Chains A and B, each alone.
Chain A
Amino acid sequence: MTAGHPPSPWQDQVYELLKAGGITQFAYVPDAGHKRLIERAIADNEVHAVSLTTEEEGVGLLAGADLGGRRGVLLIQSSGVGNCANLLSLIALGRFPFLALVSMRGDFGEGNPWQYPAGRAVEPVLQAMGVDTVRVDRAEDVAGVVAAAITQAFQGNRPTAVLLTQRLLGAKAF
């Protein structure tokens, strides 16, 4: 366990919700905000934990999973959302299900100026490419929002990204 990022109860709740939602492919770019989810997926023989070299790979991976009748989730940081923009064409045109959990940088309390441009572009980029966004600021709201997002993505046919904000995660200390 890394100092400063202890696993929180809501992170285990989210993992259980994703598993209960039938998700078997966890595509991720390593990120402190998703540390617990990534560890759970790697340790779970019932799912594939796929480490990506860049976020857009995860968009293709989730589409491929759907072609084969499986469900996936994309775990990324806000700086990677822009990398996904063109490949979200595939989600929109193919009407593929899409669920992403985005850990935010470049918002509340951010001290690293390099995080702001992409952080502020997260919602406009996702919305422009047809992905609904919902922000979560409080630990007690996470499970409910993720459950709703699973329903939207896989039953409602609404591509959905849950933004885990720095109010929730805490601004990263350097």
Chain B
Amino acid sequence: MDTGYLLDRRTAVPQIVGDHRDFLFVTGLGGTSRDISHLTGDGASLYALGGAMGAALSVGLGLALARPDRRVMVVTGDGELLMGVGTLATIAVMDPPNLSVLCVDNGHYLETGGQLTHTARGTDLEAMARGAGFKATATVDGEAQIDHGRAVLREPAHCSFVLLRVAPTEPPAFRRDMDAAATRLRMKASLA
């Protein structure tokens, strides 16, 4: 199904993140882990999930609470986020000002054969984030809004949520380290 969204994640994700060195990243399984491992060169600032679907938001919350001195960005897909969507409420009521969520919404479960997610059928995750209590939110579905989205992801006073609507095209080809223990130690060592 054509969702009508035209942005290409391979350019839109780097543009909306801006300088990736500003953030620690937690990414959900699938495309967003490839987006950000490509962007960071699979660096120590990234903890990329390869399973545990639905956990990206909660891992990001734990990290943000643990490190109030650093900005944390969760980058995850619409399908992954929907599996743990209640965590939007858990984050919003804690409201850690150093936590941003970037949902790369392509309306599809691309890795499992391109089935539609709920967001291609009427579910609005920005509205859900706002309803959960996020005070800083935005939807970005065109080039003209990317600068605004990048600013919302750097909101200093509250946790923030940006829904980036993209075409259902492939993320960058990138082979990241899938060893969850090695990448854990890599991030911990960089933060010690």
CB contact between B89 and one of A53, A58, A63, A67 (< 8 Å): that residue = A53
Closest A residue to B49 by CB, please name it: A90
A14 at the interface (CB under 8 A from B): no
Could you say which residues of chain A place their CB within 8 Å of the CB of B59? Answer: 60-61, 63-64, 67, 90
Number of interface residues of A (CB under 8 A): 32
Query: Provided the pairs A50-B94, A57-B87, A90-B180 are in contact, do residues A69 and B188 lie with their beta carbons within 8 angstroms?
Result: yes
Beyond contacts A60-B59, A64-B66, A90-B51: 10 other A-B pairs, Cβ-Cβ < 8 A, are A60-B52, A60-B55, A65-B65, A67-B63, A67-B184, A68-B62, A86-B51, A86-B52, A87-B55, A95-B180
Q: State which residues 142-192 of B face A: CB under 8 Å.
A: 180-181, 183-184, 187-188, 191-192
Known: A51-B93, A64-B26, A87-B55. A57 touches B66 (CB 8 A): no
Q: Mark B44-61, 1 if CB is under 8 A from A, else 0.
A: 000101011111111111
- A:71-118 near B, CB below 8 Å: 72, 86-87, 89-90, 93-96
Interface set of A (CB-CB < 8 Å, partner B): 24-25, 48, 50-54, 56-70, 72, 86-87, 89-90, 93-96
Least Cβ–Cβ distance between A59 and chain B, in angstroms? 7
Q: Which of A54, A56, A67, A70 has the most CB of B within 10 A?
A: A67
Residues of A within 8 A of B57 (CB): 57, 60
Of B51, B55, B61, B89, the contact of A56 (CB 8 Å cutoff)? B55
How many Å lie between the Cα of A32 and that of B11 in the bound state? 50
CB B51 to nearest CB in A, in angstroms, measures 6
What is the bound-complex CA distance between A132 and B60, given in angstroms? 26
> Which residue, A70, A87, A96, has most C-beta atoms of chain B within 10 A?
A87
Interface size on B, residues (CB 8 A): 35
Bound Cα distance from A118 to B60, whole angstroms: 29
CB-CB under 8 A for A65 and B54, given A51-B90, A94-B181: no
Distance A24 CA – B62 CA, assembled complex (angstroms):
10
Residue of A nearest to B51 (CB): A89
B84 an interface residue at 8 Å Cβ cutoff?
Answer: yes
Interface positions of B from 21 to 61, Cβ below 8 Å from A:
26, 47, 49, 51-61
- For B51, B62, B65, the residue with the greatest tally of chain A CB atoms inside 10 Å of its CB is B62
Chain B residues positioned under 8 Å from A87 (CB to CB): 52, 54-55
